[in-house]
């Protein structure tokens, strides 16, 4: 018997894996991944699945005005702020089975395991599915955990539009998940998010658990480049104002900014739309996105300055113009040291190899850290591949992460609110 967290209690690894595979069928792609963009019919389907499973586990489910779903397992004193677990069930267009999903379903599994063992916690426990973590359909990412934490207003979120002009707020109502509870009204005692690492470090070092100390800073930009549509056959090369050629130079400049601040910096153009996108028209307008990241905010700021200068240079002496908008700034986050220690102690007590790690990816925990003591637990994924249908995690690693989650949650309940009766 260890004194940390769960004692001999373990989650049911087979049941957790079966749940992951069940949800993987909702939006399954031919290549073995998932396409389940936020606020689509498939998102509604997986939400319905989740709500039904939580109710089966005896939880009361509430939905807030941003569609965040919280399932609560009562504790001894239900006036205490709950200790929450969770992540997201939305995916990228070519997403994998694990990104986000394991954080939600391991939370559910923790609640189920506590039910099986008849354990009563001091505080209620909750598992939360946050709306639109990915930011793929509606930018920015982590939108609804951001509203929960006060980083954005609800109206800002409702007004986000996808690339077809559909509004977040309308789509939330359409799928039937705009709830009554004011987003952010629910106070959390602590928040833990289990996630795949989405990078190569844990696998390379053969460690099972990443004790996540923080999340790197990230900024998103939108650029619209304007030239002139013209006939591809009859417009001589020297008379062209080709927005796509200018964009190609800009994309190379983005890469150069990333390389100039390597190895810790990354810089990406992930979304691009050329207009009118007809094979015999010189593109007159291009829209594209830029994603810059680095663990230090000062470096992210320096990257932005370099980028602006480099983009200006690409169009110097041409008739091409462009607009450049920073649409999101998510500063670097440092997680709560007591929660981090709890994860470290749980990994050690359970005998898992571990290391401290900073997250390269954004996560809902990054915003929740503003309003509650928060940390994350990482488990390895094969070759660090993520945001890819081939994303793969080992059942044993996912189970290990869920066991650490269970132990850290119980440890935190005891730390914040006193020892349990059993």
By a kind-dependent CB cut-off of 5 to 8 A, residue 141 interacts, out of Mn ion, ligand GLV, none, with ligand GLV
User: Which 3 state secondary structure label does DSSP give 103?
Assistant: helix
Residue 24 corresponds to which tokens in the numbers above?
């993987």
The stretch near Mn ion (CB under 5 A) out of 91-99, 224-232, 272-280, 322-330 is: 91-99
The stretch near Mn ion (CB under 5 A) out of 40-48, 98-106, 221-229, 331-339 is: 98-106
Measure CA 399 to chain center: 20
Q: Which is nearer to ligand GLV, 361 or 381 (CB)?
A: 361
Chain residue at closest Cβ approach to Mn ion: 100
> Closest distance between ligand GLV and the C-beta of residue 115, in Å?
31
Instruction: For 348-385, give the DSSP string.
Output: HHHT--EEEEEESS--HHHHHTTTS-EEEEEE--GGG-
* 37 touches ligand GLV by CB under 6 A: no
Residue 332 corresponds to which tokens in the numbers above?
């670097």
Q: How far is Cα 290 from Cα 271, in angstroms, rounded to an integer?
A: 8
The one-character DSSP state at 238 is G
Q: Rounded to whole angstroms, what are the CA distances from 361 to 11, 142, 291, 341?
A: 26, 11, 11, 21
> Closest distance between ligand GLV and the C-beta of residue 136, in Å?
8
* 42 touches ligand GLV by CB under 6 A: no
> Closest distance between ligand GLV and the C-beta of residue 267, in Å?
13
Q: Which is nearer to Mn ion, 322 or 378 (CB)?
A: 378
Q: Is 234 exposed, middle or buried (0-12, 13-18, 19+ CB in 10 A)?
A: exposed
Q: Using the rule CB under 6 A, which residue among 274, 361, 406, 410 binds ligand GLV?
A: 361
Residue 53 corresponds to which tokens in the numbers above?
């499973």
> Closest distance between Mn ion and the C-beta of residue 229, in Å?
35
* 406 touches ligand GLV by CB under 6 A: no
Bridge partner residues of 281 (DSSP) = 231
* 401 touches Mn ion by CB under 5 A: no
Per-residue contact string for residues 95-134; x = within reach of ligand GLV by CB under 6 A: ---------------------------------------x
Q: Using the rule CB under 5 A, which residue among 100, 124, 135, 214 binds Mn ion?
A: 100
Q: Which is nearer to ligand GLV, 134 or 389 (CB)?
A: 134
Q: Give residues with Cβ within 8 angstroms of 52, minimum separation 6.
A: none
Q: Within positions 140 to 159, which residues make up the interface with ligand GLV, using CB under 6 A?
A: 141
Closest C-alpha among 17, 11, 112 to residue 57: 112
Q: Is 11 exposed, middle or buried (0-12, 13-18, 19+ CB in 10 A)?
A: buried
Q: Which is nearer to ligand GLV, 126 or 197 (CB)?
A: 197
Q: Rounded to whole angstroms, what are the CA distances from 171 to 44, 143, 400?
A: 10, 14, 36
By a kind-dependent CB cut-off of 5 to 8 A, residue 362 interacts, out of Mn ion, ligand GLV, none, with ligand GLV
Q: Give residues with Cβ within 8 angstroms of 404, minimum separation 6.
A: 194, 209, 343, 346, 347, 350, 352, 377
Q: Give residues with Cβ within 8 angstroms of 281, minimum separation 6.
A: 229, 230, 231, 232
Q: Give residues with Cβ within 8 angstroms of 250, minimum separation 6.
A: 223, 225, 269, 288, 310, 311, 314, 322
* 333 touches ligand GLV by CB under 6 A: no
Closest C-alpha among 209, 214, 198 to residue 402: 209
Q: Which is nearer to Mn ion, 64 or 197 (CB)?
A: 197
Q: Which is nearer to ligand GLV, 100 or 401 (CB)?
A: 100
* 99 touches Mn ion by CB under 5 A: yes
* 364 touches ligand GLV by CB under 6 A: no
Q: Regarding beta strands 190-196 and 374-379, do their DSSP bridges make them parallel or antiparallel, or are they unpaired? A: parallel
Q: Within positions 229 to 248, which residues make up the interface with ligand GLV, using CB under 6 A?
A: none
By a kind-dependent CB cut-off of 5 to 8 A, residue 75 interacts, out of Mn ion, ligand GLV, none, with none
Q: Which is nearer to ligand GLV, 178 or 195 (CB)?
A: 195
> Closest distance between Mn ion and the C-beta of residue 116, in Å?
28
> Closest distance between Mn ion and the C-beta of residue 421, in Å?
36
Q: Using the rule CB under 6 A, which residue among 27, 33, 362, 380 binds ligand GLV?
A: 362
* 27 touches Mn ion by CB under 5 A: no
> Is 128 within 8 Å of 84 (Cβ atoms)?
yes
> Closest distance between ligand GLV and the C-beta of residue 113, in Å?
28
* 303 touches ligand GLV by CB under 6 A: no
Q: Where on the chain is the footprint of Mn ion (CB under 5 A)?
A: 99-100
Q: Where on the chain is the footprint of ligand GLV (CB under 6 A)?
A: 134, 141, 361-362
């Amino acid at each position: 018997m260890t004194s940390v967290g769960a004692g001999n209690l373990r989650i049911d690894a087979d049941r957790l894996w079966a749940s992951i595979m069940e949800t993987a069928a909702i939006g399954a792609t031919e290549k073995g991944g998932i396409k389940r963009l936020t606020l689509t019919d498939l998102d509604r389907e997986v939400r319905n699945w989740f709500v039904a499973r939580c109710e089966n586990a005896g939880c009361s489910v509430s939905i807030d005005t941003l569609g965040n779903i919280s399932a609560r397992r009562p504790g001894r004193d239900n006036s205490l702020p709950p200790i929450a677990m969770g992540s997201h069930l939305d995916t990228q267009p070519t997403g994998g089975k694990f990104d986000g999903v394991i954080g939600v379903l391991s939370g559910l599994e923790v609640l189920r395991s506590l039910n099986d063992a008849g354990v009563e916690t001091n505080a209620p426990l909750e598992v939360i599915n946050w709306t639109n973590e990915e930011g793929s359909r509606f930018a920015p990412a982590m939108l609804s955990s951001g509203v929960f934490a006060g980083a954005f207003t609800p109206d800002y979120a409702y007004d986000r539009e996808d690339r077809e002009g559909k509004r977040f707020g309308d789509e939330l109502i359409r799928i039937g998940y705009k709830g009554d509870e004011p987003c952010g009204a629910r106070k959390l005692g602590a928040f833990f998010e289990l996630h795949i690492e989405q990078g190569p470090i844990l696998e390379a070092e053969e460690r099972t658990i990443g004790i996540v100390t923080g999340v790197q800073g990230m900024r998103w930009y939108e650029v619209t480049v304007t030239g002139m549509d013209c006939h591809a056959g009859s417009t001589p090369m020297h008379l062209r104002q080709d927005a796509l050629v200018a964009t190609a130079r800009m994309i190379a400049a983005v890469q150069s900014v990333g390389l100039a601040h390597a190895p810790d910096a990354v810089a990406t153009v992930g979304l691009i739309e050329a207009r009118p996108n007809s094979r015999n028209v010189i593109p007159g307008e291009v829209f594209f996105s830029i994603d810059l990241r680095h663990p230090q905010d000062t470096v992210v700021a320096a990257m932005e300055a370099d980028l602006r200068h480099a983009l200006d240079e690409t169009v110097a002496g041409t008739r091409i113009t462009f607009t450049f908008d920073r649409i999101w700034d998510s500063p670097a986050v440092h997680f709560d040291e007591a929660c981090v220690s709890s994860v470290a102690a749980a990994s050690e007590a359970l005998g898992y190899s571990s290391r401290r790690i900073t997250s390269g990816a954004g996560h809902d925990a990054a915003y929740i850290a503003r309003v509650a003591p928060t940390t994350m637990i990482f488990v390895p994924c094969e070759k660090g591949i993520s945001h890819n249908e081939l994303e793969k995690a080992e059942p044993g690693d996912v189970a290990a992460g869920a066991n650490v989650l269970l132990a850290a949650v119980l440890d935190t309940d005891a730390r914040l609110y006193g020892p349990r009766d059993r």
